[in-house]
Structure 1
Amino acid sequence: MQKQEPVDNERLTSQSDEDEIDLRVFWHIFIKHKWTIFLLTSLIGILTTIVVFSLQPIYRSTAVLLIESDKANVISIKEIYGIESFGKEYYQTQLEILKSWTLVEKVVKKLNLVSHPVYNQKKEESFLRNWLPSSWLSPEVPLTAEKKRDAIIASLRDQLTISAIRNSRLVTISCDSSDKQLAAKVPNTLADLYIESDLEAKLEMTNKAASWLTERVEGLRQNLSNSEKTLQEYMERKNLINVEGVKSVAKKQIEETASNLVNARQEYAQANSVYRQVKALRGKGSEAYESIPAVLNNGLVQSLKQAELDAERKVSELSERYGQRHPKIIAATSDLEKAKANTARQIQRVVEGLTKEYEVALANVKALERVLDDNKRKIKELNRKEYELKKLERDVAVNRQLYNMFLTRFKETDASQDVQSLQSTIGRLIDLALVSNWPYKPKKRMIVAISLLLGFIFSTMLAFSLEYLDNTIKDGEDVEQKLGLPMLGSLPKLKLSNTEEFEPLWKFLKEPKTAFAESVRTLRTGAILSCLESEEKIFVITSSVPGEGKTTFSTNQALALGQMEKTLLIDADMRRPSIGKAFGLTKAPGLAELVAGTRKLDECIHHLGEDQKVNLDVIPSGKVPPNPLELLSSPRFKTLLEKLSKEYAYIVIDTAPTMLVSDALVLAKVATKVLYVVKADATPHQVVLDNLKRLRRVDAPVDSIVLNQIQTQKTSKYYYYGKYGYYKNYYKSYYGGGHGYYNSDS
Structure 2
Amino acid sequence: MENTTNEELDLSYCINLVFKRFWLLVAMVALGLVAAVLVNLLMRPAYKATALMMINKEDAGKIDATPYGSFASEEDYYRTQYQLLQSRSLLSKVYTKMKLGQVEEFANPNGLKKLEKSLDVAPITRSRLVNVSATAYDPTLAADIVNTLTDTFVADNVSNRVFMGQDVIAALESTERSSAEQELLNSMPQVVNSDFIKTLKQQASKLAADRARLLAKYTTNHPDVISVQNQLDAVNGQINTETRRLVQSIKIELSGQFSGNNIRVIDPAVTPEKPVRPRKLMNLAIGLLGGGLLGLMLVFVLEFLDQSVKSSEDLEEKLGLPFLGFVPYEKLKKKEREYATLLKDGNSLVAENVRNVRTMLDFSLAGEHNAPILITSSLQGEGKSHLSSNLLVALAQTGKKVLLVDGDLRRARVHRVFKLSTEKGLSNIWDADPQKADYAANIQAVEDVPNLFVMTSGQRPPNPAELLNTPKLADFIAWATQHYDQVVVDCPAIMPVSDTLLWGKYIPRAVFVIKYGQTNAKLAQLALDKLKKAGIKVLGAVIGHYRPEGLSYGKYGYYKNYSYYNEEK
Q: Shorter chain as normaliser: what TM range?
A: 0.7 to 0.9
Aligned pairs (5 A) from 1:218-617: 420-421=253-254, 423=258, 425=261, 427-499=263-335, 502=338, 504=339, 506-534=340-368, 536-563=370-397, 564-580=399-415, 582=417, 587-595=422-430, 599=434, 601-602=437-438, 605-609=441-445, 611-617=447-453
Residues 13-61 of structure 1 deviation map (CA, whole Å, 9 limit, x = unaligned): 8x99557644233334334444543454244224423432553141322
Corresponding residue for residue 624 of structure 1: 460
Give ranges in structure 2 of 5+ residues lacking alignment.
Answer: 170-179, 188-245
Mapped contact 1:570–1:653 kept (Cα < 8 A): yes
Alpha-carbon spacing, 1:566–1:733, altered in 2? closer, same or farther (3 Å): closer
Q: Distance in 1 between matches of 2:551 and 2:317?
A: 16
Residues 362-389 of structure 1 deviation map (CA, whole Å, 9 limit, x = unaligned): xxxxxxxxxxxxxxxxxxxxxxxxxxxx
* Aligned amino acid, residue 55 of structure 2: L
Alpha-carbon spacing, 1:656–1:150, altered in 2? closer, same or farther (3 Å): closer
Corresponding residue for residue 45 of structure 1: 33
Q: Distance in 2 between matches of 1:610 and 1:430?
A: 99
Pick one of 69, 75, 93 that aligns with 2:80.
Answer: 93
Q: Distance in 2 between matches of 1:439 and 1:540?
A: 74
Q: Distance in 2 between matches of 1:598 and 1:584?
A: 26
Alpha-carbon spacing, 1:43–1:658, altered in 2? closer, same or farther (3 Å): same
What SS does structure 2 have at the residue aligned with 1:512? coil
Q: Which moved more, 1:603-612 or 1:659-668?
A: 603-612
What percentage of aligned pairs have identical amino acids?
30
Pick one of 533, 536, 544 that aligns with 1:697.
Answer: 533
Pick one of 98, 105, 110 that aligns with 1:111.
Answer: 98
Deviation at 1:674, TM superposition (A): 0.9
Corresponding pairs, count: 491
* Aligned amino acid, residue 53 of structure 2: V
Q: Distance in 2 between matches of 1:476 and 1:731?
A: 27
Superposed CA RMSD? 3.8
Corresponding residue for residue 200 of structure 1: 159
Q: Distance in 2 between matches of 1:429 and 1:569?
A: 97
Q: Distance in 1 between matches of 2:168 and 2:431?
A: 120
Alpha-carbon spacing, 1:85–1:679, altered in 2? closer, same or farther (3 Å): closer
Q: Distance in 2 between matches of 1:202 and 1:518?
A: 95
* Aligned amino acid, residue 89 of structure 1: D
Q: Distance in 2 between matches of 1:37 and 1:526?
A: 37
Mapped contact 2:393–2:452 kept (Cα < 8 A): yes
Corresponding residue for residue 724 of structure 1: 556
What SS does structure 2 have at the residue aligned with 1:499? helix
* Aligned amino acid, residue 487 of structure 1: F
Q: Distance in 2 between matches of 1:488 and 1:694?
A: 21
Alpha-carbon spacing, 1:529–1:148, altered in 2? closer, same or farther (3 Å): closer
* Aligned amino acid, residue 438 of structure 2: D
Deviation at 1:678, TM superposition (A): 1.0
The alignment status of 1:171 with 2:130, answered yes or no, reads yes
What SS does structure 1 have at the residue aligned with 2:562? helix
Q: Distance in 1 between matches of 2:568 and 2:249?
A: 112
Deviation at 1:676, TM superposition (A): 0.9
Q: Distance in 2 between matches of 1:683 and 1:731?
A: 34
Q: Which moved more, 1:688-697 or 1:506-515?
A: 506-515
Q: Distance in 2 between matches of 1:515 and 1:149?
A: 74
Deviation at 1:417, TM superposition (A): 8.3
Mapped contact 1:589–1:599 kept (Cα < 8 A): no
Residues 141-160 of structure 1 deviation map (CA, whole Å, 9 limit, x = unaligned): xxxxxx94664433222221
Corresponding residue for residue 651 of structure 1: 487
Q: Distance in 2 between matches of 1:597 and 1:17?
A: 65
Deviation at 1:95, TM superposition (A): 1.9
Mapped contact 1:64–1:430 kept (Cα < 8 A): yes
Corresponding residue for residue 50 of structure 2: 61
Alpha-carbon spacing, 1:640–1:162, altered in 2? closer, same or farther (3 Å): same
Q: Distance in 1 between matches of 2:353 and 2:497?
A: 29
Corresponding residue for residue 30 of structure 1: 18
Deviation at 1:173, TM superposition (A): 1.4
Q: Distance in 1 between matches of 2:463 and 2:485?
A: 30
Deviation at 1:677, TM superposition (A): 1.0
What SS does structure 2 have at the residue aligned with 1:547? coil
Corresponding residue for residue 71 of structure 1: 60
Q: Distance in 2 between matches of 1:478 and 1:731?
A: 32
Alpha-carbon spacing, 1:670–1:721, altered in 2? closer, same or farther (3 Å): farther
Give me the TM-score of the superposition, normalised by structure 2. Answer: 0.74
Alpha-carbon spacing, 1:476–1:85, altered in 2? closer, same or farther (3 Å): closer
Mapped contact 1:589–1:603 kept (Cα < 8 A): no
Mapped contact 1:676–1:702 kept (Cα < 8 A): yes
Deviation at 1:164, TM superposition (A): 2.7
Corresponding residue for residue 102 of structure 1: 89
Highest Rg: 1 or 2? 1
* Aligned amino acid, residue 472 of structure 2: R
Deviation at 1:73, TM superposition (A): 6.5
Residues 528-575 of structure 1 deviation map (CA, whole Å, 9 limit, x = unaligned): 343241275201010110001211222232233334222222222112
Mapped contact 1:606–1:617 kept (Cα < 8 A): no
Q: Distance in 2 between matches of 1:630 and 1:586?
A: 24
Mapped contact 1:579–1:620 kept (Cα < 8 A): yes
Mapped contact 2:64–2:161 kept (Cα < 8 A): no
The alignment status of 1:159 with 2:118, answered yes or no, reads yes
Alpha-carbon spacing, 1:604–1:501, altered in 2? closer, same or farther (3 Å): farther
Mapped contact 2:139–2:271 kept (Cα < 8 A): yes
What SS does structure 2 have at the residue aligned with 1:703? strand
Q: Distance in 2 between matches of 1:108 and 1:25?
A: 61
Mapped contact 2:50–2:131 kept (Cα < 8 A): no
Q: Distance in 2 between matches of 1:545 and 1:53?
A: 51
Residues 492-539 of structure 1 deviation map (CA, whole Å, 9 limit, x = unaligned): 22333223663x2x4322433333233333322332343241275201
Residues 165-193 of structure 1 deviation map (CA, whole Å, 9 limit, x = unaligned): 33444332112233333333333322221
Mapped contact 1:489–1:707 kept (Cα < 8 A): yes
Q: Distance in 2 between matches of 1:501 and 1:65?
A: 83
Give me the TM-score of the superposition, normalised by structure 1. Answer: 0.58
Mapped contact 2:47–2:142 kept (Cα < 8 A): no
